[in-house]
Structure 1
Amino acid sequence: MTRGHASPGLAAPGSTAAGLSWVAIVRLGLVQAALGSIVVLTTSTLNRVMVVELSLAAMIPGLLVGLHYAVQIARPLWGHGSDVGGSRTGWILGGLALLALAGTGAAATTFLFESSFWLGFAAAFVCYALIGIGIGACGTSLLALLASRTAPARRPAAATIVWMMMIAGIVVTAIVTGQLLDPYSHARLVAITGATGALVFAIALVAVWRLERDAPALGAGEDRHERAATASPRAFRDSLAETWRDGEARLFTLFVFVSMLAYSTQDLILEPFGGLLFAMTPGETTQLSGVQHGGVLLGMALVGIVGTLVARRKPAILKLFIVAGCLGSAGALAALALSAAAAPAWPLKLNIFLLGLANGAFAVAAIGTMMALAGAGGGRREGIRMGVWGAAQAIAFGLGGFLGTVALDVARATTGDTALSFALVFSGEAVIFLASAAIALRIGGRPGTATDDAPVPLAPAE
């Protein structure tokens, strides 16, 4: 791989060689918040409605949510489209618009389920597939835009800002729509989902207006016509093959898959764990999620602040955070395994908070690193690379929650001991996180790996 350099002479009027300003980064964070706002309604609120109000088996929304992850295996294709097209903004807005429409359609399937299960399921199947396409097209292009236009020293903070704003969008939407949904009706759900989609799309439209034009890619010398001229029927296959031949990109794909598998496997079993072994009420176990997200936010903020302050002097800081976050997550899960034997005499909330803290640190550091590695191959390849890593993440998330519940059920059926079963599953997750840390140690150690202006932040410390 060759080292790229920013070219001030290519900057558009009003832009700087430093890439995106902090205001521009926050504007992209608003788009990520818009994504989170719609997704929480389709994967959380609608999930509850299907199980409680419609009395459907829990596996139905589980299959639909799994479907929206499954279709995102096509993220490399959408990322490549934004690479060779004239504008990533079009992909961002197009994907968000599709997500908003499909989310509203998914809410409307509640009426169909009332009259015919199979008609409702068929319509929901289509809507959730479109939801996955919308998330993938918008999210992949957003990350590619952020990666290609953010100065290396700002990447830790940029990743933190964008992801914290996404979480903020989820939280605000959950609180506001939760109040507006009562008294519940299918019509009210459809109206709120549609209004939310329209509102956040309008916000995103304003947020990205002229942003891409005014902040050209760092080190990008080719113009729009040159990029378009490189497209051909075989261009995607060639780009995908080129990305996969890059050992660094391939290794990072493995890291993303393994770490996200470990990250998501505990999602569906933490609340049952609190209820079965710590005698917590449904309200108390629900609060555990808030405690964990509080830790996640603090971990993200820590990476953003410290990473930005020392990134120029210590480019290996993101690697340090990734490895430390994976090891910390493994330690917190090992502690949860021990707590199964000590329950209820165990500081469970503190344990969950520390798990969230470690999760947040490694996750946002991984996103910052992803931004650095995305442009390391030279040329306009951020989209295809972000697509490959996004696909690995989506597959891992789809498998993680499912495998966690299956592992718990198998362990309980085999051992007949609930506490031991949870301990075994948490221990297994800890081992996966240890494997993630081992993989992370190898990232950035290959000759020739570079970013636009500086060594990849994952390069080994000197």
Structure 2
Amino acid sequence: MTGRREVLGWLDILRLGLVQAALGAIVVLTNSTLNRVMVVELGLVATIPGLLVGVHYGVQITRPLWGHRSDTGSSRTIWILLGLALLALSGTLASASTLLFDDSPATGLMVAFVAYVLIGVGIGASGTSLLALLATRTPPERRATAATITWMMMIFGIIVTSILTGLMLEPYSHLRLVEVTAGTGAVAFGVAWMAVLGIERKPTVTPVLAESAKRVRFTDSLREVWQDGEARLFTLFIAMSMLAYSTQDLILEPFAGLLFGMTPGQSTQLSGVQHAGVFAGMAVVGIGGLVFAGRFPGLSKLFIITGCLGSAAALALLCFAATVAPNWPLSPHIFVLGFANGMFAVAAIGTMMQLAAQGRTGNAGMRMGVWGAAQAVSFGLGGILGSVALDVGRLITGRDASAFGLVFALEATLFIASTLVALRIGRHRPIETMPKSSAPSIQAAE
């Protein structure tokens, strides 16, 4: 008897979304809460945590290697779980470094450096393999919505983590931060492990290309990606937009603490408000994708452009907020910024999944690795750029408000530039259209 085998269904996609939630739960503590503690509680210049976060993003330039290994190996699940385990352990080590800074800043910095290197390896191995798994086992018509669902679950995990840890961190102490981080990592790994059990029993959408990818060398696979003009243009967009997105990532909680007098718990919860806005923006994209799927081919591109312009406008207004702080409705403003960020980010991820499945050699992992590396490098540079610009601005102007305003203005400019690049994507080849060579073909004899 011959019949069509099922690929990833909606329940399977929700399960993989739990893995994204686990990733987000750990990363939000290392990128947001720990950054604020170093700047405000430990009194370090913003450049130090900025450089540390830049280290873990810099390490992720190895993502193409992890993607290629998941293409050529027998299981992507192994890389997902190994990466998550390393991330949980290294995240705890990073928070433990705060205990050392008071007695020996050099020792604390050394431990933190090692921890952030390992964080980068864990994210690269786990995140790249997860995206490749989604791209290769999700039917084309479900990819945009699948991206929305999994990223919304990641943001949901970040929101829940931000709120719960914000409450658990009061009253704050470095030891309490270590305990909360360790507990979060353990729970996140357990959830992810249960979520991926048996998931790879589902077939790939393009089994022939998946088999051919296992025989392709790393250099040949990388060359195939870079010779694709649409892939190159998309790489440029990812690099620019994520640079804009991440420049405020490390300074938002210090901004809330220095200008609005928020405590560590309150600023961590503000991060939750921002991600609630991201969640809402992603929901709009997901609903739009379900309602207008197949009827409006340029919908993803429209969401990308709208989100980038909305982010630019929100950041420009945040420059004014810095001058009148604390007399400003900061939480609603941050929610709107998150909403615009969420729109463009999830639309870009949906586009990424479509383009990943269009390779001639079925190298979805490599493609995700290249774009993941571009994103990681931009995130690392963004964190450094925001932190350094803040310190330089404070040195030149002598006023925190002016320094923060300069950084937000820089971000707004970057988002406008990203919009100009996004307008060129898909001009010569519609993103939603798959080449005939990679059309779904899932037949199996029972």
2:235 to 253, 256, 275: 253
Q: Where do 1:57-456 residues align within 5 Å? A: 58-110=46-98, 113=101, 116-180=104-168, 189-214=177-202, 216-222=203-209, 227-228=213-214, 230=215, 235-270=217-252, 280-282=260-262, 289-337=271-319, 350-410=332-392, 424-447=406-429, 451-452=433-434
Q: Which segment drifts farther, 400-409 or 149-158?
A: 400-409
1:194 Cα deviation (Å)?
Answer: 3.5
Distance of 2:60 and 2:36 partners within structure 1: 23
- TM-score where L is the length of structure 1: 0.82
1:398-446 Cα shifts (integer Å, max 9, x gaps): 1223323433554565567876665554443222212111111111122
Q: Which amino acid aligns with 1:244?
A: W
Contact 2:273 2:331 in 1 (8 A): yes
1:353-389 Cα shifts (integer Å, max 9, x gaps): 3322211111110111111111111332111111111
Q: 1:48 to 1:356 in 2, by over 3 A?
A: closer
Q: Which segment drifts farther, 242-251 or 116-125?
A: 116-125
1:130 Cα deviation (Å)?
Answer: 1.0
Distance of 1:417 and 1:107 partners within structure 2: 30
Q: Which segment drifts farther, 335-344 or 88-97?
A: 335-344
Q: 1:61 to 1:326 in 2, by over 3 A?
A: closer
Distance of 2:311 and 2:151 partners within structure 1: 19
1:166 Cα deviation (Å)?
Answer: 1.3
Classify the secondary structure of the residue corresponding to 2:308.
helix
Q: 1:401 to 1:128 in 2, by over 3 A?
A: closer
1:330 Cα deviation (Å)?
Answer: 2.1
1:138 Cα deviation (Å)?
Answer: 0.3
1:392 Cα deviation (Å)?
Answer: 1.1
1:188 Cα deviation (Å)?
Answer: 5.3
Distance of 2:340 and 2:360 partners within structure 1: 32
Q: Which amino acid aligns with 1:389?
A: W
Distance of 2:243 and 2:370 partners within structure 1: 16
Q: Which amino acid aligns with 2:208?
A: G
Q: Which amino acid aligns with 1:261?
A: L
Between the aligned residues of both structures, percent identity stands at 62
1:184-212 Cα shifts (integer Å, max 9, x gaps): 66665545433432332222111111112
Q: Which segment drifts farther, 257-266 or 428-437?
A: 428-437
Equivalent pairs counted in the alignment come to: 435
Contact 1:408 1:421 in 2 (8 A): yes
Q: List runs of 5+ in structure 2 lacking aligned partners.
A: 439-446
Distance of 2:41 and 2:324 partners within structure 1: 37
Q: Which segment drifts farther, 396-405 or 356-365?
A: 396-405
Classify the secondary structure of the residue corresponding to 2:91.
helix
Q: List runs of 5+ in structure 1 lacking aligned partners.
A: 1-8, 457-462
Distance of 1:124 and 1:196 partners within structure 2: 18
Q: Which segment drifts farther, 121-130 or 177-186?
A: 177-186
Contact 2:71 2:210 in 1 (8 A): no
Q: 1:148 to 1:419 in 2, by over 3 A?
A: same
Distance of 2:115 and 2:166 partners within structure 1: 22
Distance of 1:223 and 1:432 partners within structure 2: 37
Contact 2:213 2:361 in 1 (8 A): no
Q: Which segment drifts farther, 114-123 or 336-345?
A: 336-345
Q: 1:441 to 1:120 in 2, by over 3 A?
A: same
Contact 2:222 2:366 in 1 (8 A): yes
Distance of 1:205 and 1:174 partners within structure 2: 22
- TM-score where L is the length of structure 2: 0.85
Contact 1:376 1:449 in 2 (8 A): no
Q: Which amino acid aligns with 2:260?
A: M
Distance of 1:349 and 1:192 partners within structure 2: 24
Contact 2:47 2:384 in 1 (8 A): no
Distance of 2:126 and 2:151 partners within structure 1: 15
1:155-207 Cα shifts (integer Å, max 9, x gaps): 23222221121122223233334444566666655454334323322221111
Q: 1:428 to 1:304 in 2, by over 3 A?
A: same
Contact 2:156 2:276 in 1 (8 A): no
Contact 1:219 1:452 in 2 (8 A): no
Classify the secondary structure of the residue corresponding to 1:101.
helix
RMSD in angstroms over aligned alpha carbons?
3.4
1:48 Cα deviation (Å)?
Answer: 4.9
Q: 1:272 to 1:43 in 2, by over 3 A?
A: closer
Contact 1:373 1:451 in 2 (8 A): no
Q: 1:130 to 1:314 in 2, by over 3 A?
A: same
Contact 2:54 2:383 in 1 (8 A): no
